[in-house]
Structure 1
Amino acid sequence: MLFVNPRASRCPYPADLKEVMSVGSAHESRDWLSSWEHLSQDATPLWELPGIAAELGVARFWVKDESTRSPLASFKALGAPIALIRLILRLMPLESFDPKGLITGRYRERLRDFTVISATDGNHGRALAAAAQSVGCKCVIVLHANVSAEREAAIAAYGARIIRIEGNYDESVEHTAKVAQQNGWPVVSDTSYEGYEIVPRDVMQGYGTIAAELIEQTTGDTAAPCPFTHVFLQGGVGGMAAGISSYLWEIYQDQRPAFVMVEPRQADCLYQSAIQGRPAKATGSVDSVMAGLACGETSPLAWRFLEPSIDFFLTIADHEAVTAMRKLAQGSANDIPIVAGESGVAGLAAVQILVRDSEAARKIGLNSDSRILIISTEGATAPTVYESLVGESDEAVIDRQRQWQKRKHL
C-alpha cells in the first residue's frame, strides 16, 4: 500500500536537524574509517541498468551496490565502526586517542578490558564485532529467535560472544539494555529510544558516505542539479534512510529528490509512523524474509529526519522481494547481473509494484522522465538463504557478472 506523507517538506534543510547530522560530520566519519582494513578503499559500484529502465518505462535506473563495501557484504560496515570510535573518544577523553589509530588497533592493549554490547538482525552485529576486533575491545551480541545460524556464525567469526533469546528483534533490544545495565557495558545500537540517541546518531552519520559517493559517481559536483528524481530507501528502524536522505537534503536543499520508503508489510513501523504522525510500532508479525528490515519499532531519532523528508511510504510482500532478487541476479544483454540480498532489493520491488498501478505511479510522479536510484544494502550475507531464494549461488552470479564485464570490454 502507498501512503502520501502530508508532512513532507521541500524547504531548505532545517538548522535544528543540521545540528544533529550534517554533511561535515559525515565527511569526518568517512575520513576516520578510510584506514580500516575491512572497508574497500574504492567507492562501491553504481550500476546503471538500461534494460530495467526500459521495462519500467523510466529514463534511467541505477543500483548502488553495497555488497562490495567490505568483506561484511553490507552497508552496515559504515555505521557500527564509526559509532564505536566516537563512543570510545567520548568515554575516554583523557586518553587522547587518535581516531584512525583506534580503528587500526594502535591502542588494543589499553582497550582489552573494554566491552560493548548490541542487539542485531545480523548485519549491524557483524559490523560491530569486526570493528571491536580491530579496535581490540570485547563485543557481546544479542540475537533473537529469527536470526539464522548462518548469520550467527558470521558474527561469532569476529570474536563476539553471542547471547540467544526467544522472541523478536525488539525484545532483543530490551534484553540488551538489561544486560548492559547489569554489567556496566555501553550499548552500540543502531536504533534510538528514550535517553539513548547519541550512538544511533553516529551510526546514521556513517551512512553519509554512500550519498557522498553517489554525487562523486554522477555529477561530481554538489552545485549541479540532483541526478536522481526518485530515491527508494529501505525501512528497518529508519537509520540508513535518515543518514542518506539528510545528506542529500542538505546538499540539494529545496531541490532534493523525492524519497520513497519501502518496508515489509508485516514490519510496517515507519508506514504506521507516517499515518500516525509519531514514532509507531508495526502492525504485523515482524518476521520477514527481508531480515534486515524485520523491525517492529521506529527509531525516534531517525523519525525526526524521516517525517519531514520522506514523501511516500510503501509496504511490499516477501514474494515481491524474492522476485526482485532473481531479476537483479539474472541480468541481461544490457544489464549486469547483481548479487543483492533479501533486504537489498526492496527498492526495485517497490518500483515494479508502482509501475503496474497507474494511479500510484501518477501520485509518486513516475514517468518516462524519471531517474530512479535504489540502494542494494547487502549482498549474500546468508549465502545458503540467498541460494535457496534465487536458485543459484552468489558465486555463480558473480561469475556471470565477470563474464558480462569481459564481453562489454571486448
Structure 2
Amino acid sequence: MFLLNRHPDHRRPLTEEDAATLGLAEAAEAERFLAARDNRAETPLHALPALAGELGIGALHIKDEGKRLGLGSFKALGGAYAVMHLVLEEAARRLGRVVDVAELHSHEVKAVAAGMTFACATDGNHGRSVAQGAGLVGARSIIFVHSGVSDERVAAIARFGAEMVRIAGDYDQSVREAARVADERGWTVVSDTSWPGYERIPGLVMQGYTVIVREALKRLAQPPTHVFLQAGVGGFAAAVAGHLAIVLGEDRPKAVVVEPARAACLYETAKAGRPVAIEHSKPTVMAMLECYEPSLVAWRVLSRIGDAFMTVDEEDAVAVMNRLARPSGDDPAIVSGESGGAGLAGLIRAAGDRKMRAALGLDTASRVLIVNSEGATDPGRYAELVGMAPDEVTREKQPA
C-alpha cells in the first residue's frame, strides 16, 4: 500500500512545541548527554554503491545503529536519555539549583535517583534502553512486556537489573497496563509513545534520536534527497524527519514512512486524516514495529513533514536482512534485525514500482538515507531467518 500525504497540515511548519523538542539546542543537549556515557562511539554510516546502482538511484547510505551503546538498537539513545534528564530535573528540584549531566554520578544525584522508579512497556529495544538508563543512575526500573516478546529479548532487558512483568495481550495493552500500575504506585512512566496529557517524556525520548541525524549529516558530502523511515508508533520517524526539516529547511529530504502491512497504524491514520487505532492482525516478523495506535506527538509531526506512507510485507523484511548480510560488489555486510531494514525494504519496493518512483521523484540523481535501526537483538531468530549467525555475516566481508 502507498499513499501520498494529503493532510491539510502537510508542508506547514512544525508547531512551536515540536520545533522546540526537535530543535538545534535540544539536539546539542542530547549529544552532550551522550558524551557523558560509556561506549558512546559514533555509529558508522555506510555507502552502498552497488545496491544504489541496482535500484537506479544516485547514492544510498545506511546509518547502522546495530551497535549503539552496546544495546543493539537506536533506542539506546531515547529511553536512557529521558531517564537521565528526569533524574537531573528531580535532583535540581530537591537541591534547589541547576544540576549538570557532569554530576550524574555524584553522591547527591545518586541519592535522588535511588528513590525513583521508572516503568515502561516494550517490544524489546525501548525497555532495554530505559533499564540501562536506570542502572546508569542507580534508579529502579520495571519493564512490562507482552506475550509476543521473545524470551531472548526479555533476558536481554533483565540483564540491566530491570524487574520484568509479562502480561497477556499485545504492545498497546502493555502500554496501558504499565501506565495504570505506575499511576497507582507513583512510578514515572518513560514511554516512547504519547497520549492525551502525556507528551513531554515521549518528546524527550524523541529528542535523543536526533543524535542519529546530527552524526549522519556530518559524514554526508551532500544532504539526502529522500529518507525512508520505519515506524511503529512513529516516534523515531518523526524525530529523524523533524530534525532534518529543522536543519535543512526547504532543502529537507522527502520523508517516506514505512510500516509492516500487518501493523500499519500510521498509514491508516494518514488515510483517515486523524489518529486511529487499527484492529489487531497476525503478528509480524517486524516485531519492534508491531503497534496498532500512533503516538499523538509523532502524528502531529508526520502530518506536516511525512510526504508519503507505505507498507511492506513479511517477505520484504526477511529479504532485506539477507540482502544486507550477502551484499553485492564492494558494499559492506550489515547485520540488520527483523525490524531494522524495514526502511530499506520500503525503498526497494518503491524503486521497483514505476508509479511510486514517479510520485516520490526517485531517479538516478536521488541520494537516499536509510537507518538500520537494530542489529540482531534476537541472535537465534536472526540466524534462523538469514542462515548465518551475526558474527559470521561481518566476518565474511572482512579483507583477507
Give the TM-score band, short-chain normalised.
Answer: over 0.9
C-alpha contact (below 8 Å) 1:122/1:155 kept by paired residues = yes
- Taking the aligned partners of 2:22 and 2:185, their CA distance within structure 1 comes to 31
Which residue of the other structure, out of 254, 257, 261, is the alignment partner of 2:253?
257
Deviation at residue 190 of structure 1 after TM alignment: 0.6
Which 5+ residue runs of structure 1 have no aligned equivalent? 220-225
* SS of the residue 1:88 aligns to: helix
Matched with 1:223 is: none
Letter in 2 for 1:6: R
Deviation at residue 334 of structure 1 after TM alignment: 1.6
Deviation at residue 10 of structure 1 after TM alignment: 4.0
Q: Counterparts of 1:3-402 in structure 2 under 5 Å?
A: 3-7=3-7, 9-10=10-11, 15-37=16-38, 39-41=39-41, 43-92=42-91, 93-95=93-95, 96=97, 97-102=99-104, 107-219=109-221, 227-285=223-281, 287-401=283-397
CA gap 1:104/1:163 in 2 versus in 1, 3 angstroms: farther
- Taking the aligned partners of 1:104 and 1:18, their CA distance within structure 2 comes to 33
Deviation at residue 284 of structure 1 after TM alignment: 4.3
- Taking the aligned partners of 1:155 and 1:104, their CA distance within structure 2 comes to 25
CA gap 1:171/1:212 in 2 versus in 1, 3 angstroms: same
- Taking the aligned partners of 1:105 and 1:329, their CA distance within structure 2 comes to 46
C-alpha contact (below 8 Å) 1:268/1:281 kept by paired residues = no
Q: Residue by residue, what CA displacement relative to the aligned partner does 1:349-374 show, whole Å, maximum 9, x if unpaired?
A: 11221222111211111111111111
Deviation at residue 287 of structure 1 after TM alignment: 2.0
C-alpha contact (below 8 Å) 1:234/1:261 kept by paired residues = yes
Q: Which moved more, 1:135-144 or 1:210-219?
A: 210-219
- Taking the aligned partners of 1:378 and 1:104, their CA distance within structure 2 comes to 32
Q: Which moved more, 1:309-318 or 1:95-104?
A: 95-104
C-alpha contact (below 8 Å) 1:261/1:313 kept by paired residues = yes
CA gap 1:104/1:172 in 2 versus in 1, 3 angstroms: farther
- Taking the aligned partners of 1:233 and 1:255, their CA distance within structure 2 comes to 18
Among the aligned pairs, what percent are the same residue? 41
Deviation at residue 257 of structure 1 after TM alignment: 0.6
C-alpha contact (below 8 Å) 1:286/1:296 kept by paired residues = no
CA gap 1:247/1:11 in 2 versus in 1, 3 angstroms: same
- Taking the aligned partners of 2:341 and 2:51, their CA distance within structure 1 comes to 13
- Taking the aligned partners of 1:173 and 1:303, their CA distance within structure 2 comes to 18
C-alpha contact (below 8 Å) 1:229/1:258 kept by paired residues = yes
Letter in 2 for 1:386: Y
CA gap 1:195/1:10 in 2 versus in 1, 3 angstroms: closer
Q: Which moved more, 1:172-181 or 1:80-89?
A: 80-89
C-alpha contact (below 8 Å) 2:12/2:304 kept by paired residues = no
* SS of the residue 1:119 aligns to: strand
- What number of residue pairs does the alignment pair up? 396
- Taking the aligned partners of 2:210 and 2:359, their CA distance within structure 1 comes to 28
CA gap 1:149/1:103 in 2 versus in 1, 3 angstroms: farther
Deviation at residue 283 of structure 1 after TM alignment: 3.9
- Taking the aligned partners of 1:279 and 1:35, their CA distance within structure 2 comes to 37
Deviation at residue 304 of structure 1 after TM alignment: 1.0
CA gap 1:133/1:104 in 2 versus in 1, 3 angstroms: farther
CA gap 1:253/1:122 in 2 versus in 1, 3 angstroms: same
Which 5+ residue runs of structure 2 have no aligned equivalent? none
C-alpha contact (below 8 Å) 1:271/1:314 kept by paired residues = yes
Deviation at residue 298 of structure 1 after TM alignment: 0.2
Matched with 1:2 is: 2
C-alpha contact (below 8 Å) 1:11/1:253 kept by paired residues = no
- Taking the aligned partners of 2:108 and 2:335, their CA distance within structure 1 comes to 35
CA gap 1:197/1:372 in 2 versus in 1, 3 angstroms: same
